[in-house]
Structure 1
């Protein structure tokens, strides 16, 4: 079939990961599966430079102009979070499928607006959640579904990164209005998304958050205790004040512990599996079966998106799945700022924390 025609909106650092993944996508015949058509950025010189780098014939300052001039099948949105929903809705209205960087929106209300727009459009929205697509995570989900390690009992999910003053000097960073939040929203969301992909739906969260040292309108640290519907208990830490940076997940099952430690992406070698006494051989044999050899990456997810489009199916990760992760983020803020537990589904349409992640305002505002 002919290659999908693609526009990339926003030409900052993450856009190159999208362009590289799209350029590398090949079908079974070895032919390219996509054609990079247009680069869009509010700064025309940046759009033109990006278009030249990736051999894109069109550069523009608005998605509106590009969609009016060119037939586009896929729109990859790599802009700051506050613009995601409007751009994705515009792509949907033009009949394209939108692939949007996480976080999908700065509020639950915004993502619900996009869900409504999606129901009226022929295309759909896929949200970048690249950690779901590495072979190690796929293998782990198979283990959970098969019960090969027994029941999962507890888990830890830590995103401990370091961002200095220069990072927060970028105008759109460090605000609930444009970025949607601090490390809970913009950094730890990828690890939390993988936590939910592995363990299923959460049911209750108790959290705290603080602005400990950074000059920012958001938190720079949050901690949460999460109960899942399966009764698994998890601790979650999100930080941008940690000099030794690490992204880590740990799952303790009845018969094994699975640990994943990396920073911005993992391979199979980043997993450690330990069998409980008496179960070592059984655990090793179970872990040896399943997907292998694919690191987490934008390329892995982009290939899955294209496969779904080829088959006429909804691309992964669909908007409603991404909303479940965003609801956990909103619940962490609500619990931290109101100082009480939050149940899943408790944040109603008229709740302040549906409209903004900081509700009526952060305690330090």
Structure 2
């Protein structure tokens, strides 16, 4: 049986072949690919059909050479343990890749080379190689050297996390204090009048904001509250619970915030012990808000070690981030859900605006969170 004409291999078709199949000029095909608004709708349909049927793929490297655009965004990935990855940042990366892909962009991951781990040097190397059109930064700290450096370089950038006064406001973030205040209101509405908070190093801006939001809302509602420092390191002072708003001297670990900027680590054993000590007291909290879902696991452990149930009739517990583990705990964990897809989409949109030379936004963008209520809080 004679074989019909074979279709060219995918990627082997030329732009001239597409033009002949569509009955148009080579320039019209180019316009259809790069400036479709210049092409009449019926002509655009013919060109699009020919591209699809012939399996034509534009030479992206040639297009980049002509336009100067790489269609690639660099993401400075936080330092993490591949055997124990940060579930929040893993979810953010998925959302970022999807948001970039929807705009025809790729995401290039990079990280400082060990042992020095200098992010400034890693940024300089990437920029010198002209591999990306702009940068996405995350886990922004106060007076972050990365922000100051990319601002001096003049390369377009955005950050997941707010920058400081006097720095470019190219950030997207959530209101961590308001999110934790919503947790306090939820617990108060369930009848809890004595509540505790377990966090990590307060020098991490997002964790400091969560702690502040917890204490401010508890004070406003007249609740008895205590905040425990959950950072790894030596045990801090014993918690002091007051009738009414309470604060506790924080535990500052010797290694500082930068070493843990990419992760919010589980509480040290001393913090778990401190939760247990509170639960043994005469005015034990009936609810705990944790600064992350991983810290909520330590509260679960402490509550059960004291022979108490988690949830209704025992001790209510809430987390922060709404990572997948929340649904698999027993009882399932109430947690604050971050709008990761909206955050990623806003970051990509703002970054591409900077790449195109549009005016920089005067302020960062704050997106709302959602409290997902499950069995752990009743």
TM class by shorter chain equals 0.3 to 0.5
Larger strand fraction of residues: 1
Instruction: Give 1 or 2: higher helix fraction.
Output: 2
- Give 1 or 2 for the bigger CA radius of gyration: 2
TM-score, normalised via structure 2 length: 0.39
